[in-house]
Amino acid sequence: MSKKAILEIDGNKYEFPIIEGTEKELGIDIKTLRGATGGITTIDPGYKNTGSCESAITFLDGEKGILRYRGYSIEELAEKADFLEVAYLLIFGDLPTAEQLDKFDKDIKEESHIDEDMKRILDGFPKSAHPMGVLSSLTSALIAFNPGSVDVDSEEAMYGAIVKIMAKFPVLASWTMRKRKSLPLDYGDSSLGYVENLSKMMFSRPNKTYEANKIVNDALDKLLILHADHEQNCSTSTVRIVGSSHAGLFASLSAGISALWGPLHGGANQAVIEMLEAIREDGGDTAKYIAKAKDKEDPFRLMGFGHRVYKNFDPRAKIIKVAAEEVLGDLGIEDPVLDIAKGLAKVALEDEYFVKRKLYPNVDFYSGIIYRALGIPTEMFTVMFALGRLPGWIAQWREMRLRKEPIGRPRQIYTGETYRAFKSVSER
């Protein structure tokens, strides 16, 4: 028998079906709530208890520390797959065959040029501009160069738009870094793989022949895979909700980039390194900063700790911690900040405040240490996150449009003034 939930309000009983996901998650389906109860709504700030959609893309179990893309475990994908395969998997639902992957790769390469006029837009930004702001603006500007909305009922048109943004996004992302570093723009090299090409576009120097570094590229590949999707987080929900008004793919992505920028979301990776640096400059006293994080009068939070859904451990953080040690070892880098990070994690993991609130290191706690070792400037860290998250955002946008989801429009409980008669200025 199918499960149901019964809600009683003032003696009246209302019945709601309970839907069950493929991983046995249960959700009370309240679609009929307002109609049945005469306008009673739910209230759930931050949507901590609200499922905004049904989705077949990513499964995560915060208690058990499970993360799977389309059924495949993050551990296995990080170990065995490459980023382009994972992008295809997320967007189209299955791992690509050799032919599908080859076509995807070739189609992306075909679209990787950027209109020369886009450079004039980039020129208009001051060098000091944060790369995330520039990236969001450039992604939005792409619309002007690729006008016309995607016909979501046409598989071909949808594929065309997806390939276009997968191709142009890394070029734009690397340009934001080169602009800040006063380097000439690099257009990439179509003979290289997706991640290797990204690496070239970021790190090439005008006076040197670019030489691929396998350690750097493998680490980048892994980081991009680990960030590729994370179900209905802040930026992804933004992409879906903006897209639900039938705004185009690029416009929805640009909004997602802005949402990701915040320090409580993707911006945490930059904030973590800045915090670790500040602790180092302050003498490396981790206990002092643990105390600050616990002090309710102090706004300081331990960046890179805690997660809305992971309440046991973040499986991505586990993989990244090991990768950070490997990459630093392979590149022969000793970074005192890694020791501070490990020290903080050790103390926090045993401290009652953190244990009670189930606050564990998250994906961003160690990722910045790898980015630093790879020579990526701190303010580019969140751009790296965006590069990884791109296929996830695309997959979620595509799913939302194909399922013909209604426009996202939450309700509220009004707590302002009740009716007041207008008084002219002379009467106030």
In the complex, minimum distance from the CB of residue 233 to ligand CMC, in angstroms, rounded to a whole number: 5
- The residues facing 17 across adjacent strands are 4
Q: Which stretch binds ligand CMC (CB under 6 A): 141-149, 248-256, 305-313, 323-331?
A: 305-313
Contact 106, 192 (CB under 8 A): no
364 is catalytic: yes
Contact 55, 68 (CB under 8 A): no
Of 3 and 357, nearer to ligand CMC (C-beta) is 357
Of 248 and 306, nearer to ligand CMC (C-beta) is 306
Of 235, 355, 344, which Cα lies nearest the Cα of 287? 344
In the complex, minimum distance from the CB of residue 237 to ligand CMC, in angstroms, rounded to a whole number: 12
User: Which amino acid is present at 77?
Assistant: L
Of 266, 315, 388, 391, which lies in the binding site for ligand CMC, with binding defined by CB under 6 A? 266
Per CB under 6 A, does 401 bind ligand CMC? no
Per CB under 6 A, does 289 bind ligand CMC? no
Residue tagged active-site, from 130, 227, 230, 307: 307
- Residue whose token pair is 């006293």: 285
Contact 156, 101 (CB under 8 A): no
Helix (H) or strand (E) holding 13: strand 12-20
Of 264, 322, 355, 402, which lies in the binding site for ligand CMC, with binding defined by CB under 6 A? 264
Of 280, 308, 318, 342, which lies in the binding site for ligand CMC, with binding defined by CB under 6 A? 308
In the complex, minimum distance from the CB of residue 111 to ligand CMC, in angstroms, rounded to a whole number: 29
Per CB under 6 A, does 231 bind ligand CMC? no
**Strand ranges, E, within 38-122:** 58-61, 66-69, 72-73
Contact 57, 90 (CB under 8 A): yes
Interface size with ligand CMC, residues (CB under 6 A)? 21
Neighbours of 6 (CB within 10 A): 8
Per CB under 6 A, does 390 bind ligand CMC? no
Of 130, 164, 307, 401, which lies in the binding site for ligand CMC, with binding defined by CB under 6 A? 307
Q: Is 92 exposed, middle or buried (0-12, 13-18, 19+ CB in 10 A)?
A: middle
Contact 41, 33 (CB under 8 A): yes
Per CB under 6 A, does 113 bind ligand CMC? no
Contact 298, 292 (CB under 8 A): yes
Q: How far apart are the C-alpha atoms of 167 and 182, rounded to whole Å?
A: 23
Of 217 and 362, nearer to ligand CMC (C-beta) is 362
Q: Which stretch binds ligand CMC (CB under 6 A): 16-24, 100-108, 195-203, 258-266?
A: 258-266
**Token digits of residue 264:** 């409580």
* DSSP-derived 3-state class of residue 51: coil
In the complex, minimum distance from the CB of residue 305 to ligand CMC, in angstroms, rounded to a whole number: 4
Of 293, 327, 370, 383, which lies in the binding site for ligand CMC, with binding defined by CB under 6 A? 293
Per CB under 6 A, does 287 bind ligand CMC? no
User: Which amino acid is present at 304?
Assistant: G
Of 188, 248, 256, 306, which lies in the binding site for ligand CMC, with binding defined by CB under 6 A? 306
Q: Measured at CB, which residue is nearest to ligand CMC?
A: 306
Of 114, 165, 173, 303, which lies in the binding site for ligand CMC, with binding defined by CB under 6 A? 303
Of 204 and 233, nearer to ligand CMC (C-beta) is 233
Contacts of 425 (CB under 8 A, 6+ apart): none
Per CB under 6 A, does 288 bind ligand CMC? no
User: Helices 336-350 and 268-281 sit at what angle, rounded to 10 degrees?
Assistant: 100
In the complex, minimum distance from the CB of residue 13 to ligand CMC, in angstroms, rounded to a whole number: 33
N residues, the chain: 428
Residues 347-366 that bind ligand CMC (CB under 6 A): 357, 359, 362-364
Of 16 and 365, nearer to ligand CMC (C-beta) is 365
User: Helices 363-373 and 381-402 sit at what angle, rounded to 10 degrees?
Assistant: 130
Per CB under 6 A, does 318 bind ligand CMC? no
Contact 229, 217 (CB under 8 A): no
By CB under 6 A, name the binding residues for ligand CMC.
46, 230, 233, 264-266, 268, 293, 301-308, 357, 359, 362-364
Q: Catalytic amino acids?
A: 307, 364
